Amino acid sequence: MDTTNAVLDALKQNGKPMKAGEIATASGLDKKDVEKAIKVLVKEEKLHSPIRCFYDIKK
């Protein structure tokens, strides 16, 4: 599984907006890798930031 899918899975399982560090803990990935994946997912419009520093799946 690649990093972007792991980030999306962690967010789906939690069901609420999360910080990058929380996503890293939930997915077992390095925080730096999670931050890179978040940037890619936001650019692809799969994630959004409803609150500063929190990310959630775009519905």
The whole-angstrom separation of Cα 11 and Cα 38 is: 11
Looking at domain 3-57, which of 3.30.470.10, 2.70.98.60, 1.10.3720.10, 1.10.10.10 is its CATH number?
A: 1.10.10.10
Q: Is 7 exposed, middle or buried (0-12, 13-18, 19+ CB in 10 A)?
A: buried
For the chain, domain boundaries:
3-57
DSSP helix/strand/coil, 18 = strand
What pLDDT sits at residue 31?
A: 97
The whole-angstrom separation of Cα 44 and Cα 57 is: 11
pLDDT, one tens digit per residue, over 1-59 is 699 999 999 999 999 999 999 999 999 999 999 999 999 999 999 999 999 999 999 98
pTM over 0.85: yes
What pLDDT sits at residue 8?
A: 96
